[in-house]
Structure 1
Amino acid sequence: MTTTRRGGVSRPPYDTFNLGDHVGDAPAAVAANRKRLADTIGADGVVWMNQVHSDRVVVVDGDPGATVDDTDALVTTTPRLALAVLSADCVPVLLADARAGVIGAAHAGRVGAQLGIVARTVEKMVALGASPDDISVLLGPAVSGRHYEVPAIMADEVEAALPGSRTTTEKGTPGLDIRAGIARQLTTLGITTIDIDPRCTVEDRALFSHRRDAPTGRLASLVWME
């Protein structure tokens, strides 16, 4: 699941359901929003990350409400423990192998995706017993290639590391579609059950977008097992 901007207590420009504690919002508002989310989903707790655009994956097995520092992906085999990704244009990647009982959540911005954060997450899941044939993936709302304009050199560099990412924006300039690149990467890893949320964070005013509105809040995308 992925949250929207609605339903929280944060004041502008973080209005209202901001779940990021690193963007300048009042800590009490973020804490209240996070508690509301945890209470609503009905899991035993939520594990958060202090994301740093890396390829680091951490396995967690408890401590609901904790925040894992300096990482961009979490993996667990613990039922009812929700893993959360914060985003406001980057790609939230939610993965699950229901048969093996292994789930993962990754934050794939341009840098992390280029470094291979999604592939590292799959590798960690497989090490815990997951099978690529049984892993299903959701790529959540993110900036679309229509609005992700970058220098041509950067587009080429990302394309070299993550084939399928380079695209053309609505202006006719070089751009990136990170979700397309990740989807292609997943297929090379043997994963074929891939769903892509079509929403563009820049276009959809119900979602936070750093590129459109900075400073602004952060959405949360979550995955958990019953």
Structure 2
Amino acid sequence: MTLEILTSDTLLPLKHGFFTRKGGASSGVFSGLNCGAGSSDQSEIVQINRARVAEAMGTEGLIGVHQIHSADVITVSGHGDGGEKADALVTNTPGLTLSVLTADCQPVLFADAQAGVIGAAHAGWRGTLDGVLEATIEAMEALGAQRTQIAATIGPSISQRAYEVGPEFLDDFLAAEPANARFFANGEGDRYQFDLPAYGLHRLRSAGVGTATWTGHCTYCDPDRFFSYRRSTHVGEADYGRLISAIRL
């Protein structure tokens, strides 16, 4: 099966893609393009999937990090870099491909094509609240990017209608900024529905990037195309696949 790759006009002409689960070699709950080495899927199969992504990106290899839901960013200068505990990467070295893994959290790809600087971030609710998006922008600026020239696109993420949270979750956001209440809708009982992509867009736009967009795809609501941690938990599956998003300079 052919790989399905979602792209954003705002990131062109740079090679990039938000890969769906289609076109992979995994089976069972991982059926499709599971690129998560941290899953319980067969490591050889995961490597096959990642090799297919690398081929599609026209690269020797995919550079990533050991994601920990932080605001930490690493600067990459060669193929031997990567693997550190962090949640975002930036580079101004031509030929390198940065990647992040997600399964409901926001994959965010950044590009200042004019300056020749790119970035990729894994932005769950905790990382976004703690500033991983702003930290990525600052790291890109350190490499010569200008934030008013940076285009940022949020890929497939869990949408508000599928993201039920408790009152303590809301409290964390209100403690950070009372105006964050606008990203929550009332749910059943004491529950709320959190709009993670809208919050991500708000943080990006408030940081002053030139363009910030979301592809509009919900990971939870489309099981044929996307892996979802929350959906897997709700149906009682033992594990879940990881989607990959990548950008190449």
**What TM-score results when the alignment is normalised by the length of structure 1?**
0.93
Shift of 1:166: 2.8
Tell me the SS of whatever aligns to 1:49: coil
How far, CA to CA, are the matches of 1:16 and 1:125 in structure 2? Answer: 33
The residue identity in structure 2 corresponding to 1:143 is I
Task: Give the Å deviation of 1:114.
Answer: 1.4
Residue 47 (1) aligns with residue 63 (2): yes
- Once the two structures are superposed, the pairs formed by residues 47-86 of structure 1 within 5 Å of their partners are 47-63=63-79, 67-86=82-101
Match of 1:166 in 2: 183
Question: Distance in 1 between the 2:35 and 2:150 partners?
Answer: 27
Q: CA RMSD in A?
A: 1.8
Hey, which bits of structure 1, 4+ residues long, moved more than 2 A? 158-166, 169-173
Structure 2 residue aligned with 1:117: 132
Partners of 1:177 and 1:203 in 2: how far apart? 14
> Distance between the aligned counterparts of 1:8 and 1:28, measured in 2?
12
Residue 107 of structure 1 is matched in structure 2 by 122
Tell which deviates more after alignment, 201-210 or 39-48: 39-48
Aligned to 1:140: 155
Shift, 1:134, TM fit: 0.2
Distance 1:159 1:113, change over 3 A: farther
| 1:175 to partner: Cα distance | 2.3
Task: Decide whether the 8 Å contact of 2:164 with 2:187 is kept in 1.
Answer: no
Deviation of residue 169 (structure 1)? Answer: 6.2
SS in 2 for 1:146: helix
Q: SS where residue 63 of structure 2 aligns?
A: strand
For each residue in 1:94-149, what CA deviation from the matched residue of structure 2 results, as whole angstroms up to 9, or x when unmatched? 10101111110000011111111111111111111111110000001100111111
**Counterpart selection for 1:189 from 202, 207, 220:** 207
- C-alpha change, 1:6 and 1:170, in structure 2 (3 Å) is farther
1:222 paired with 2:241, answer: no
Q: Distance in 1 between matches of 2:67 and 2:33?
A: 19
| More displaced stretch, 193-202 vs 181-190 | 181-190
Contact 1:54 1:72 survives alignment (8 Å) = yes
User: How far did residue 46 of structure 1 move?
Assistant: 1.4
Is there any run of 5+ residues in structure 1 with no aligned partner, and where? none
Q: Partner of 2:111: helix, strand, or coil?
A: strand
Higher helix share: 2
Q: What is the number of equivalent residue pairs in this alignment?
A: 224
Read off the aligned partner of 1:174 and give its amino acid letter: Y
Percent identity between the aligned chains? 39
The answer to whether structure 1 residue 213 and structure 2 residue 193 are counterparts is no
In structure 2, distance between residues paired with 1:21 and 1:60: 20
Counterpart contact for 1:156–1:166, Cα < 8 Å: no
Alignment correspondent of 2:236: none
Matches of 1:116 and 1:193 in 2, distance apart?
Answer: 18
How far has the Cα of 1:88 moved from its partner? 0.5
Paired amino acid for 2:40: G
The normalised TM-score by structure 2 is: 0.84
Structure 1 pair 171–142 and aligned structure 2 pair: CA distance change class (3 A): farther
